[in-house]
Structures are given as structure tokens and as C-alpha cells.
């Protein structure tokens, strides 16, 4: 069972510049293999059920700052199962969900079949297959850190209409926020397959600034959270590709430790994942 809530809190100063909270540490709970597009093939159902959604106020932010309207066309690159795509589809946007992993792409097609504005695309950041100057926004939720950035930059510039926007979004777990989250982080460091490699600062403000150069970018953050019983907590853990699956020697002891953590830190049969949802947005100008 999973209960999920979000609460908005933009963390910018009076000038609209990012505060320390806005400069979120983008070390990600994702994957690191030769072909990262294959990392989630065996975890699709857990990903659908247990990964956090994105706060609804992101839409209002993009309406205000990026001119998003229901007529805007969105390319959601690395769309996966469609978690971010659905945020735009619910507002009436036409969305191209560009996803290279067939299992994830098929799940997105199934889950978003009720939205006539969704177009599923077998493509990747570096080669979306979309027409030249065809979209108003390019978005990436939990995906940009896997892109070949120079190639993706050129591709985004190609498919964006003049004056179009890039929007990069991550749900960043607050690893030190509570005793439960500190214990959960220790569990990952102890039992995961390649979490420490994945968890390096792969995408920093400096990296993002280089991507947008010669233009600038802005960032806002929103509070986000998930509330899990033990079944939900186990599902959330197993949705991460660096976590050992059944048959791996670390799998059983990891789940035993997870149960101990839940029993020690749960309140009224639940634990809370706290996130900062970081939203980076800017126009993409041609490089000199």
C-alpha cells in the first residue's frame, strides 16, 4: 500500500535566485552501466507503483516563467512510464514521450492510453526522431544525467521552436533529513550493487550551466514526499536499479535489514520519504 502527498515550497530569494536549498545536490538514485537504457527493464511494475510523482505546482511555475499553455507541444525525453508526461497531458498538452527502453515505453503507452495527446516515440535524447523546430518545451524527469550532453544539446536545439525552453527535473531524496532516511542511506551503501558509483555528483549547477551556455538557467525547488507502509517501502527500494534482485547474495540480508529499519523508525505503521523536487529551466541558445 502506498500513500503519496506533495506540498509546494519554492526556495528562491527575493530576487528570484536559488537559495542553498534550490541548489539541490543532484546525486541520483539511478543506475550506472554501459547501456543505462536497459537498467529498469526488470523493474517496470515497481517503478510504476512506487516512484514519486512530481508536484502539481510545477505546471503553474512553467506557465508563469516559460509561457506554457495548453497549446504548447512537449517532448518528454526519457519519459519512462510517463510519470512526468502525465503532468502535462492532464493540462491538455500534446506530449511526445521519447523513451529508448522498450519495457518502460510499453508501460507508458499502456498507462497513458486514455490521453489522446500522448505520442509514444522510440528514440533517445541524442536522436529523438522528432521533426526540426517541432516542440515548445523539452523536459527530462530523472533522466538528464544519463544523456550524452553535447549530443543531447544539439538534438534539443534542433527540435525546439525558436524561443523554446528546456526543463530538467529531479526528485532528490533528503538523505539526512530524518533518522529513517539516514538509516535507509546506510542500507544502500551496504547492500547495493553500484550505488556509490551512481551516487557521485554527476550533475551539478556547473554542469547545467555549461549545458545552457551561453544563456543562463533558473532553478526552483518544491517539497515532495511519499508515505509508505512496509510493502510500499520494499517496493520503493526494489524500484531502484542498483538494488540486488532475488538470487543475488545481498538480496535477502538487505530485506532483513530493511524490516529492522522500518520497525525502528516507523510511526503508526509508516515511514516518510522526503524529497526536494528541483526544476531547472532555461532557453537553449546556439553555442558560439
Asked if residue 244 belongs to a domain, the reply is no
Specify the pLDDT at position 98. 98
Q: What whole-number distance in Å separates Cα of residue 278 and Cα of residue 171?
A: 6
What pLDDT score was predicted for residue 196?
Answer: 63
Q: Report if residue 161 sits inside a domain.
A: yes
Asked if residue 91 lies in contact with residue 121, where contact means CB atoms within 8 angstroms, the answer is no
Query: Does residue 38 sit within a domain?
Result: yes
For 69, the domain range is: 7-173+201-224+277-283
pLDDT of residue 204: 84
**pLDDT value for 153:** 95
DSSP 3-state assignment of 29? coil
Residues 101-145 have pLDDT tens digits of: 999 899 999 999 999 999 999 999 999 999 999 999 999 999 898
CATH number at residue 18: 3.40.50.150
pLDDT in tens, 251-287: 999 999 999 999 999 999 999 999 999 999 999 875 4
pLDDT at 33: 42
Kindly state whether residue 154 falls inside one of the protein's structural domains. yes
DSSP element (H, E) containing 131: none
Is there a domain that residue 242 lies in?
no
Number of domains in the chain: 1
pLDDT, residue 197, reads 63
Q: How far is CA 243 from CA 43, 48, 234, in A?
A: 10, 16, 11
Does residue 167 sit within a domain?
A: yes
Q: Which residues of the chain have pLDDT under 70?
A: 1-43, 196-202, 286-288
Angle, CA of 30, 59 and 156, to the nearest 5°: 60
How many whole angstroms separate alpha carbon 28 and alpha carbon 192? Answer: 14
Residue 200 to residue 25: CA distance in whole angstroms: 10
The rounded Cα 221 to chain-centroid distance in angstroms is: 13
The answer to the question of residue 262 being in a domain is: no
Per the confidence metrics, is the pTM higher than 0.85? Answer: no
Whether 208 maps to a domain, the answer reads yes
In 120-246, which residue ranges form alpha helices assigned H by DSSP? Answer: 149-159, 179-191, 195-198, 205-212, 230-238
Amino acid at each position: 500500500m502506498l500513500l503519496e502527498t506533495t506540498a509546494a515550497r519554492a526556495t528562491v530569494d527575493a530576487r528570484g535566485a536559488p537559495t542553498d536549498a534550490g541548489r539541490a545536490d543532484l546525486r541520483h538514485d539511478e543506475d550506472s552501466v554501459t547501456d543505462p537504457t536497459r537498467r529498469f527493464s526488470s523493474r517496470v511494475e515497481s517503478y510504476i507503483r512506487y516512484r514519486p510523482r512530481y508536484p502539481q505546482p510545477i505546471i503553474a511555475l512553467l506557465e508563469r516563467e516559460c509561457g506554457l499553455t495548453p497549446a504548447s507541444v512537449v517532448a518528454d525525453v526519457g519519459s519512462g512510464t510517463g510519470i512526468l508526461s502525465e503532468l502535462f497531458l492532464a493540462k491538455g498538452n500534446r506530449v511526445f514521450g521519447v523513451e529508448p527502453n522498450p519495457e518502460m515505453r510499453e508501460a507508458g503507452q499502456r498507462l497513458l492510453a486514455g490521453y489522446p495527446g500522448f505520442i509514444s516515440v522510440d528514440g533517445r535524447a541524442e536522436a529523438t526522431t522528432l521533426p526540426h523546430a517541432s516542440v515548445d518545451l523539452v523536459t527530462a524527469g530523472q533522466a538528464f544525467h544519463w544523456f550524452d550532453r553535447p549530443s543531447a544539446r544539439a538534438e534539443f536545439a534542433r527540435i525546439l521552436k525558436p524561443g523554446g525552453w528546456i526543463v530538467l527535473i529531479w526528485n532528490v531524496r533528503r538523505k539526512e533529513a530524518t533518522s529513517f532516511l539516514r538509516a535507509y542511506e546506510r542500507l544502500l551503501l551496504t547492500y547495493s550493487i553500484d550505488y556509490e558509483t551512481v551516487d557521485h555528483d554527476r550533475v551539478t549547477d556547473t554542469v547545467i550551466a555549461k549545458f545552457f551556455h551561453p544563456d543562463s538557467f533558473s532553478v526552483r525547488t518544491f517539497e515532495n514526499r511519499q508515505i509508505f507502509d512496509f510493502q510500499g517501502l520494499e517496493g520503493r527500494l526494489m524500484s531502484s536499479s542498483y538494488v540486488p534482485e532475488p538470487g543475488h547474495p545481498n538480496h535477502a540480508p538487505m530485506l532483513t535489514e530493511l524490516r529492522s529499519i522500518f520497525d525502528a523508525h516507523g510511526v503508526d505503521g509508516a515511514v516518510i520519504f522526503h524529497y526536494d523536487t528541483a526544476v531547472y529551466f532555461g532557453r537553449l541558445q546556439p553555442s558560439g
